[in-house]
Amino acid sequence: MRKLRTKRSYLVMPSLLAFIIILFIVTPIFSQDGWTKLQVGDEGVFIFRDEFGVPHVLADSAGALFEAFGYVAAQDRLTQLEISRRQARGRLAEVLGPGVLASDVEARREGYTEEELKGQYSVLRAETRVLVEAYARGINRWIDEVKADRDKKLPKELWELGIQNPEPWSICDSLAVGIAAGRRFGQRGGSELENLKELEKLGRDEFDKKYPLNDPSAPTTISFNDKNLNHTPEFFLAAGHPPEADNESLQLTTLPGLPAKLGSYAVAVSSGRSSSGCAMLLGCPQMGFEGPQPGYEVDLHGGGFDVAGMTFPGVPAVLIGYNNYVAWTVTSGCSDNMDVFIEELNPTDTKKYKFKGEWQEFESRQEIFSVRGAAEDVRENICRSVHGTVFRVDKQENRAFSKKRTFWGEDAKTFESFIDIDRADSIGDFTEAAGTIALSFNLFCTASDGQIGYWHTGRYRVPAPGVDPRLPARGTGVDEWMGFVPREKLPHSVNPPEGLIVNWNNKPSKDWDNGDNTPWVGGHRVSYILGLVAGKKKITFDDLKAVPRGIESHGTYQQAVELAENGPTVLSILPPGENGFLDKRGVSNPHSSDQSEMFDAWQYKPAHFLNGDADNDGIYDRKEAERGTNPFVMGQ
């Protein structure tokens, strides 16, 4: 097992590798312990910091709740917010220099323009827009406080980067950060050119053996059986994906702002399989162990929300969590949702390409990049075909290569999906929400009525007849997609007869094909987990909690939930947790609580849920907020 490394580095101009160590800075400068009151318009919002530094927020309206949500996230993670939006919007080189310019170019080339972000935002429900805007107001409220008292409230890391006046947070910042996070976990494919080289090297027969379209022996999430336990429990066998695009680490970038490694697992247990008669869920996202963690814990109550769990700062929703009725977690789906097309260039005018018998002009724009330490700005031309962004040009062969994404233009709707999930109270709500998620995820849910469910989410194309999804498609119009797989046809399972659902990014179902990323070939690491739980007639909560240690593989955030009709029992761990970091004066946050020692000892902490009468003393928590007592201490 690799232990989490939390060493910090404070350099005036940190190198990229050094900066990764400090990238997720938690910098709350909170004035007092226990309860505080934040005035939002005419409404007073109560915020309680527990012994682990986690904010618990009580409000009357959803708008006030989300403004306080943004406020506490900025208090705790202002440096992370700043780096995340710069990474997502291609502006890291402004503060980190030329070493990250390539990442900035890629971010703008593969992402959306400001106008396109606004266009996606405009079609969201009015209620969603109210919440996103309130969240941004909360972040900006803390930024204003920081600017008024920089010496005490501006994180030392931002001083060192020369960011003494953080720009206001915009709704498009939240969209960009959320979209970048979603793609990091839910986008796969684009390896067709690497596969083409493999085909030329190996020949067709060996290529098909190494990268099969479907391997029926690969362990599946749906309808697994004891035969899975006989597979060699390796992570991904040599017969899997080429190392250039390894599905375990994605190896796209090690830039700060978002996690660089993936590999999450989940175990859902029905009431019938549980020794207590209560449905249970273990969720363990794995996002790398190279520095302070990107996950952020929060507990939100008011305006129709009673939800707690983990999110990423900048994203106004709980992404992995629980409420009184359901608990959920997410793993990367690893299904192919991005294809490479070969564009035939006009030999006399390379600004044009052939599509359906005619020469079409590439959509083109110029992006300007400011680079710290550079005498001049850098200008880059970004081109798109009807398929998508052009990422490479082969002048010798007179062709270009573009990426077409199945979810293009649909990313922002995921905000609504998770906002709906946050308020779900049944398996049916999850079925509906799963159908609106455009990216490739595995979504798991357990409910207080004992039910469990699994959905392989996303939007997946139907290729043209004769097109091999492992190889590049012709961009001339003859290999165009035939449509999309109906959502109801995607792999899903509600209340399987085994009463157990296990996933570690393995294959959804036997009939689900590999794409160009070929992630499911031969034995799979999920066999480790199956070996611990599948043979038990009844599974205890202790059995569930012991899975990470049993497989010797931590989640970087771990959440174990047992859902009874009278409410959830929740344990979690998030190293380093709500840590205190230095301000310019060298003063640390009074709410420092490093969970790394507990994490390394395979322990959990109680995940307090501020709802109703949490300490059973007959006083509703809002009353305890008003009188200033700890709602999680019995008999106070």
Q: Where is pLDDT greater, at 247 or 484? A: 484
**Residue from 431, 404, 416, 411 nearest 336 by CA:** 404
Query: What stretches of 79-199 adopt beta strand conformation (E)?
Result: none
Whole-number pLDDT of residue 30: 38
Whole-number pLDDT of residue 623: 75
Band of the pLDDT at 261, cuts 50, 70, 90?
A: low
Residue 6 has pLDDT above 50, yes or no: no
Q: Are 326 and 430 in contact (CB under 8 A)?
A: yes
Side-chain-facing half-sphere of 32: CA atoms under 13 Å: 9
> What DSSP string runs through 559-619?
EEEEEETTEEEEEEE-SS-S----BTTSPPPTT----HHHHHTT--EE----SSSTT-SSS
Mean pLDDT, residues 77-99: 95
Fold of 338-405: Penicillin G acylase, beta-roll domain (2.30.120)
pLDDT tens per residue, range 154-194: 988 899 899 999 999 999 999 999 999 999 999 999 999 99
Mean pLDDT, residues 360-376: 97
pLDDT tens per residue, range 490-503: 999 999 999 999 99
Contacts (Cβ under 8 Å, ≥6 apart) of 152: 29, 583, 584, 585, 587
pLDDT tens per residue, range 220-233: 999 754 343 333 33
Residue 613 has pLDDT above 80, yes or no: no
Residue 256 has pLDDT above 60, yes or no: no
Whole-number pLDDT of residue 619: 57
Mean pLDDT, residues 197-205: 97
**Residue from 89, 226, 83 nearest 155 by CA:** 83
Mean pLDDT, residues 609-625: 68
Residue 250 has pLDDT above 50, yes or no: no
Using DSSP's 3-state secondary structure scheme, residue 25 falls into coil
Contacts (Cβ under 8 Å, ≥6 apart) of 542: none
Band of the pLDDT at 624, cuts 50, 70, 90?
A: confident
Q: How far apart are CA 57 and CA 38, in angstroms?
A: 10
Residue 431's CB is within 10 A of a number of other CB atoms, namely 18
pLDDT tens per residue, range 505-525: 999 999 999 999 888 998 899
Residue 287's CB is within 10 A of a number of other CB atoms, namely 21
Side-chain-facing half-sphere of 572: CA atoms under 13 Å: 31
User: Which residue in the block uniquely carries the two structure tokens 């266009």?
Assistant: 119
- Alpha carbon distances (Å) from 349 to 353, 398, 544: 9, 10, 62
Band of the pLDDT at 294, cuts 50, 70, 90?
A: confident
Band of the pLDDT at 28, cuts 50, 70, 90?
A: very low
Fold of 16-185+578-627: Penicillin Amidohydrolase; domain 1 (1.10.439)
Q: Are 379 and 101 in contact (CB under 8 A)?
A: no
In total, the chain counts a number of residues equal to: 636
| Two tokens, residue 470 | 């492992």
Residue 236's CB is within 10 A of a number of other CB atoms, namely 21
Q: How far apart are CA 501 and CA 498, in angstroms?
A: 8
- Alpha carbon distances (Å) from 427 to 248, 327, 432, 434, 493: 30, 10, 9, 11, 11
- Alpha carbon distances (Å) from 417 to 40, 128, 435: 26, 10, 9
Whole-number pLDDT of residue 608: 87
User: Which residue in the block uniquely carries the two structure tokens 């906002």?
Assistant: 419
User: Which residue in the block uniquely carries the two structure tokens 């029992």?
Assistant: 569
| % of the chain with per-residue pLDDT over 90 | 72
Whole-number pLDDT of residue 593: 66
Residue 113 has pLDDT above 70, yes or no: yes
Residue 621 has pLDDT above 80, yes or no: no
Residue 634 has pLDDT above 80, yes or no: no
Q: Are 345 and 399 in contact (CB under 8 A)?
A: yes
Q: How far apart are CA 214 and CA 208, in angstroms?
A: 10
What are the extents of the domains in the chain? Answer: 16-185+578-627, 338-405
| Two tokens, residue 233 | 């429990």
Q: Where is pLDDT greater, at 294 or 365? A: 365
Q: How far apart are CA 520 and CA 82, in angstroms?
A: 37
Whole-number pLDDT of residue 168: 98
Whole-number pLDDT of residue 275: 97
The phi and psi torsions of 444 (rounded to 5 degrees) equal: -125, 145
Whole-number pLDDT of residue 614: 61
Mean pLDDT, residues 269-279: 97
Band of the pLDDT at 609, cuts 50, 70, 90?
A: confident
**Residue from 318, 511, 475, 509 nearest 398 by CA:** 475
Residue 587 has pLDDT above 80, yes or no: no
Is this prediction's pTM over 0.75?
A: yes
pLDDT tens per residue, range 305-323: 999 999 999 999 999 999 9
Residue 560 has pLDDT above 70, yes or no: yes
Residue 469 has pLDDT above 70, yes or no: yes
Q: Which amino acid is at 195?
A: N
Q: How far apart are CA 546 and CA 603, in angstroms?
A: 9
**β-bridge mates for residue 37, sequence order:** 46
Contacts (Cβ under 8 Å, ≥6 apart) of 385: 341, 343, 353, 355, 360, 362, 363, 400, 402, 475
Residue 569's CB is within 10 A of a number of other CB atoms, namely 18
Q: Where is pLDDT greater, at 634 or 392? A: 392
Q: Where is pLDDT greater, at 574 or 213? A: 213
Band of the pLDDT at 11, cuts 50, 70, 90?
A: very low
Whole-number pLDDT of residue 62: 96
Using DSSP's 3-state secondary structure scheme, residue 131 falls into helix
Whole-number pLDDT of residue 53: 86
- Alpha carbon distances (Å) from 282 to 135, 490, 536, 555: 29, 23, 16, 10
- Tell me the catalytic residues: 264
User: Whole-number mean pLDDT of the chain?
Assistant: 86
User: Which residue in the block uniquely carries the two structure tokens 């035969």?
Assistant: 227
